[in-house]
A = this chain, B = another copy of it.
Amino acid sequence: MTKRPLFDRVAIIGVGLIGSSLARAIRLHGLARHIVACDASRPARDKVKELKLADTIVADAGLAATGADLVVVCTPLSSYAAVGKAIGTRLRRGAILSDVGSVKHTAAAELGAHLAKGVHLVPGHPIAGTEHSGPAAGFAELFVGRWCILTPNAAASRAAVDKVATLWRRCGMKVETMDALHHDRVLAITSHVPHLIAYTIVNTVSDLESHTQAEVIKFAASGFRDFTRVAASDPVMWRDVFLNNREAVLEMMGRLYEDIALLQKAIRLGDGEMLHTVFTRARAIRRSIVQAKQA
């Protein structure tokens, strides 16, 4: 039984881990008649060609967007302004513009700035990833069982939002829509602040005396090991996340500081009861997450 493809021509701008996984999933599930892959990097385009991930491969975003009924921007957030400008007037009436960025309020502003009339802006964030990057790191199953959050702007039609939701559902995701700023606050504490801490702790280690540092690497226990995996994620992507979600990240860091200070004081004072209470509470939250099947 073959289903009619959801889209005629999908352009994927930026074929890193997410973009290349999306291309693979679209092909695997027959979601588009034609896949256009666009990347400014020559090695990335060569890899896409070698892996046969797309029907057409181009370097120019404006060219990629021309004639597409769906464009999904999968580049780092710092290129959104330029990409928005390059494709805004090339999109045809009725086309849908979406993305996969981790910060949504700036995505809408930058991708929407030059948008032609009648184009539907439906920003999205598939919450999925690994610590690896680049087109060779992608795989079609990356999205299965995970959440995708859509933050459509008010002018986007219900039909356009539904089509993007269907795309991600067919890739295996659960989909929900949300206000962009609310998304950014939730992700600040679930994802951005944890990454910031992980990066920091790994750097703190790299400043230790060299013989201690060598032993830290050698004996990397659970805890540090998990943190370093988080800290292995793409530096450009994460730089852009922090620059774009500054307010929410700084607010959540402020809250975290207060809580760390309390625990630190409990350690200094030898307050075992307080430590035990806090640790027990954390364990209960972990159970909620396991029950929500996100673990």
Q: Which residues of A contact B (CB under 8 A)?
A: 78, 127, 129-131, 147, 149, 182, 185-187, 189-208, 212, 215-233, 235-236, 238-240, 242-243, 246, 249-250, 252-253, 255-256, 259-260, 263-264, 266-268, 270, 272, 275-276, 278-283, 285-289, 292, 294-295
> Quick check: A250 and B225 within 8 Å, CB to CB?
no
> Quick check: B256 and A200 within 8 Å, CB to CB?
yes
> Quick check: A255 and B217 within 8 Å, CB to CB?
no
> Quick check: A223 and B194 within 8 Å, CB to CB?
yes
Instruction: Give A283 Cβ to nearest chain B Cβ, in Å.
Output: 5
Q: What CA separation (Å) do A256 and B203 show in the bound complex?
A: 9
Which residues from B are CB-within-8-Å of A288?
217
8 tightest CB-CB pairs across the interface, nearest first? A194-B223, A235-B279, A232-B286, A190-B224, A191-B221, A231-B282, A202-B282, A220-B294
Q: What CA separation (Å) do A255 and B189 show in the bound complex?
A: 22
Instruction: Give A176 Cβ to nearest chain B Cβ, in Å.
Output: 8
Task: State the number of copies, please.
Answer: 2
Q: What CA separation (Å) do A182 and B209 show in the bound complex?
A: 12
Query: Given A193-B201, A219-B149, A186 and B212 touching (CB < 8 A)?
Result: yes
Q: What CA separation (Å) do A231 and B195 show in the bound complex?
A: 16
> Quick check: A216 and B190 within 8 Å, CB to CB?
yes
Residue from A239, A270, A281, A288 whose CB has the most chain B CB atoms within 10 Å:
A239
Across the interface, name the chain B residue whose C-beta is closest to A211.
Answer: B182
Which residues from B are CB-within-8-Å of A287?
232
Which residues from B are CB-within-8-Å of A249?
267
Instruction: Give A144 Cβ to nearest chain B Cβ, in Å.
Output: 15
Residue from A212, A223, A259, A278 whose CB has the most chain B CB atoms within 10 Å:
A223
Across the interface, name the chain B residue whose C-beta is closest to A129.
Answer: B222
Which residues from B are CB-within-8-Å of A130?
222
The answer, among B193, B195, B229, for a CB contact under 8 Å with A286, is B229
> Quick check: A189 and B208 within 8 Å, CB to CB?
yes
Q: What CA separation (Å) do A198 and B260 show in the bound complex?
A: 10
The answer, among B193, B231, B259, B275, for a CB contact under 8 Å with A238, is B275
Instruction: Give A241 Cβ to nearest chain B Cβ, in Å.
Output: 9
Q: What CA separation (Å) do A218 and B256 show in the bound complex?
A: 20
A182-B212, A202-B281, A204-B255 known, 4 other contacts, Cβ within 8 Å: A192-B223, A194-B223, A194-B226, A207-B255
Q: What CA separation (Å) do A288 and B220 show in the bound complex?
A: 10
